[in-house]
Amino acid sequence: MAVGVFDSGIGGLTVLDALQKRLPDVAFVYFGDNAHSPYGVRTHDDIFNLTTAAVERLWAEGCDLVILACNTASAAALKRMQETWVPPNKRVLGVFVPLIEALTERQWGDNSPPREVAVKHVALFATPATVASRAFQRELAYRAIGVDVEAQPCAGVVDAIEQGDEILAEALVRSHVESLKRRMPHPEAAVLGCTHYPLMAKAFQDALGPQVKVYSQANLVAESLADYLKRRPEFVGSGIESKFLTTGDATYVSSKSTQFLRRRISFEAA
């Protein structure tokens, strides 16, 4: 048994890296659905079907708890999965809530009514499917009032990252930030609402300027999982071996991932 970590591709490795640093004694099985990436341009049904197939594969690895380290799957499929599909002895958790709790200065489980928070103008950068789902605004509205969110669908960025084309990814980031700033000239906070984007965090920060606080999810998700496992230790599992599975070409995905995380990562066929 181990904890499962799912993403459409290699972006979720930013979350996995933080999880492994925060919880060094926990074994993680990572599943990248590289053969079907990017998810951000797919329909919600398609994302639901691909995500549930991947989660079933992680359950078969003994991972009773799976983290969707993918905003697109968290936004487009998680609610439906939790309401209609996940059996009582399994857990599937997403990456949105820890981020929104940080933004709204809330502790886990604080279900008090929405209230005014310090930040008023938030820029959200995410995939087209995540933006279309409005899941971020929905989760935020449960917790905060008076926050203006301007969302920018960042077409092309995930593809460029998956293909290892950093120059194209940076140029796309600059143009998406410019286009958001035309609609919201002075955001106070920016949310990198896609787990691929921390790989481009510097490009986002440079284009936004130093006065904008950029939130990315990896450390927030790691803190939140550590807290969850403290309350529900039965989901830690007793596995000691971490493993990387991909639906794509294992050699290619391993080499791209090694380049991104700057440590050796070896994927095997899912």
Binding region for ligand DGL (CB under 6 A):
7-9, 11, 37-40, 70-72, 127, 130, 158, 194-196
Query: What H or E segment, with its residue span, contains residue 161?
Result: helix 157-162
d(CA 166, CA 50): 27
Give whichever of 70 and 236 is closer to ligand DGL, judged by the CB atom.
70
Give me the count of residues in the chain. 270
Supply the minimum distance, in Å, between the C-beta of residue 125 and ligand DGL. Answer: 10
Give whichever of 10 and 236 is closer to ligand DGL, judged by the CB atom.
10
Residue type, 118: A
Q: Is 194 a catalytic residue?
A: yes
Supply the minimum distance, in Å, between the C-beta of residue 152 and ligand DGL. Answer: 13
Supply the minimum distance, in Å, between the C-beta of residue 93 and ligand DGL. Answer: 14
**Does residue 201 sit in helix, strand or coil?**
helix
Supply the minimum distance, in Å, between the C-beta of residue 77 and ligand DGL. Answer: 11
Q: Write phi, then psi, for 122 (nearest 5 degrees).
A: -120, 130
Give whichever of 20 and 237 is closer to ligand DGL, judged by the CB atom.
20
Give whichever of 8 and 152 is closer to ligand DGL, judged by the CB atom.
8
Which residue's Cβ has the minimum distance to ligand DGL?
40
With contact defined as beta carbons under 8 Å apart, do 92 and 81 qualify? yes
Residues 6+ apart with CB under 8 A from 255: none
Give the active site residue among 2, 63, 70, 144: 70
Residue-wise burial string across 36-54, b where 16 or more C-beta atoms lie within 10 A, e elsewhere: bbbbbebeeeebbebbbeb
Supply the minimum distance, in Å, between the C-beta of residue 37 and ligand DGL. Answer: 5
Give the active site residue among 47, 149, 194, 200: 194
For residue 125, what are the β-bridge partners? Answer: 152, 192
3-state SS of the chain: helix, strand, coil percent to 5?
50, 15, 35
Give whichever of 13 and 122 is closer to ligand DGL, judged by the CB atom.
13
Give whichever of 163 and 234 is closer to ligand DGL, judged by the CB atom.
163
Supply the minimum distance, in Å, between the C-beta of residue 196 and ligand DGL. Answer: 4
Q: Is 63 a catalytic residue?
A: no
Q: State both tokens at 155.
A: 């077409």
Residue 181 DSSP class: H
User: How many H helices and E strands in the chain?
Assistant: 12, 12
d(CA 81, CA 44): 12
Q: List the catalytic residues.
A: 70, 194
